[in-house]
Amino acid sequence: MRKRNFIEVRNVTKRFGRVRALHSVDIEVNEGEFFALLGPSGCGKTTLLRILAGFESPTEGEVFIDGQAMSAVPANRRPVNMVFQNYAIFPHLNVRQNIAYGLRRQRLPKAELDAVIERALVLIKLEGFGERRSDQLSGGQRQRVALARALVKQPKVLLLDEPLGALDKRLREQMQVELRALQQEVGVTFVFVTHDQEEALSMSDRIAVLSEGEVLQVDTPERLYERPVSREVADFIGTMNFVEGEVEGVDTDMISVDAGPLGRVSAASDERTRPGRGARVLIAIRPEKIAVSRERPDVPSNLVRGQVSAASYLGDRSHLRVDVPGLGAPISVASQNILPLLHSAHAAESDAMWLSWPASAVVLLPPE
């Protein structure tokens, strides 16, 4: 049975002198989860990871791991291990000695120690590399040695600080898959820090979005993308169109909003956001949820006509910017190129097109 709230970060605040790195952060991570801390640089995500590792102590608040309070436990006694951003492979030791580094205190018999190291080498697919020094390894190999070195300690939690940041794009994509597979194989709770939203979306079970030391939202990748709770989250993850509006009517499953130049917009009602009549709201729609057509679609609402001001062709899809009269910023549209591009249905610059979107694609956010 997987434990819920395996890691509990309770009301943690961290100040460095006058600088506030974290402000009353509350996060719960379940056992066996692949959990991402996502945010721009300087948002406090690395500080939080270092607090979990025991390299920093919180100014206020407490961290619990498997029910045990951590504030009095030094870094070298915590049931967590870390993969450092630059991997921190000991340069004076070979791969085998690096992996064995943390096992010395267990005083295993030689044969057993060798077996553990051998298993670790198999796990990270570096059999036969045991005698190599760190300067004889590629970036991806160093990263896997760092992983093995941490995992042989059998930690309750593995912390990863931008583990893929130092790798080139192709290797990074490959390691994303491998890391995820490895996590499922060993079943250890992973907490990893990244500023790369795609990486966070593709790898994690859940993501905490941080900004300026505060947690903006903790959710699954799908909900984070489809149902962001604020403009900041929506902006940070992917692209989003925003239009201000005022609630006209609230139904059991539908909310209708007067969106000025965009006309009446209907939004599928959400258990989380139920603004009252007359409330100001921010309408948010993802570019790929918007359909483009030359003919007027036969729908009563969620429809607007505009002129294409820019069209860029990206192969599998095209990005359009559509000017709608009366609207400050153009609307971004991403349309899949399902039909051959030369087909007349495709929009080119200065074409007048109809934009439409389903009510379920509309997210209502609090106004700014």
Residues lying near another protein in the complex (CB under 8 A): 53-55, 74-77, 80-82, 84-86, 88-92, 101-102, 105, 133-135, 149-150, 153
Backbone angles phi, psi at 213, to 5 degrees: 80, 5
Both tokens of residue 137? 């390894």
Residue with Cβ nearer another protein (18 or 77): 77
DSSP state of 267: E
Residue with Cβ nearer another protein (53 or 362): 53
Please, are residues 331 and 355 in contact by the beta-carbon 8 Å criterion? yes
Closest approach of Cβ 47 to another protein, in Å? Answer: 14
Residue with Cβ nearer another protein (89 or 210): 89
Residue with Cβ nearer another protein (53 or 209): 53
Closest approach of Cβ 338 to another protein, in Å? Answer: 49
Closest approach of Cβ 33 to another protein, in Å? Answer: 21
Residue with Cβ nearer another protein (5 or 138): 138
Closest approach of Cβ 103 to another protein, in Å? Answer: 9
In angstroms, rounded to a whole number, what is the distance separating the alpha carbons of residues 209 and 196? 11
Residue with Cβ nearer another protein (146 or 290): 146
Closest CA to 303 of 271, 339, 242, 259: 259
Closest approach of Cβ 57 to another protein, in Å? Answer: 14
Residue with Cβ nearer another protein (77 or 272): 77
Cβ within 8 Å of residue 111, ≥6 positions away: none
From edge to edge, which strands make up the β-sheet containing 352-356? Answer: 291-293, 352-356, 303-313, 317-323, 331-336
DSSP state of 276: P
Residue with Cβ nearer another protein (155 or 245): 155
Cβ within 8 Å of residue 308, ≥6 positions away: 320, 321, 322, 323, 347, 348, 349, 350, 351, 352, 353
- Beta bridge partner(s), residue 20: 15
Closest approach of Cβ 43 to another protein, in Å? Answer: 21
Q: What DSSP string runs through 321-356?
A: EEE-TT-SSPEEEEEE--S-TTSTTS--TT-EEEEE
Closest CA to 306 of 266, 352, 272: 352
Backbone angles phi, psi at 305, to 5 degrees: -110, 135
Closest approach of Cβ 25 to another protein, in Å? Answer: 21
* Single-letter code of the amino acid located at 39: G
Closest approach of Cβ 246 to another protein, in Å? Answer: 53
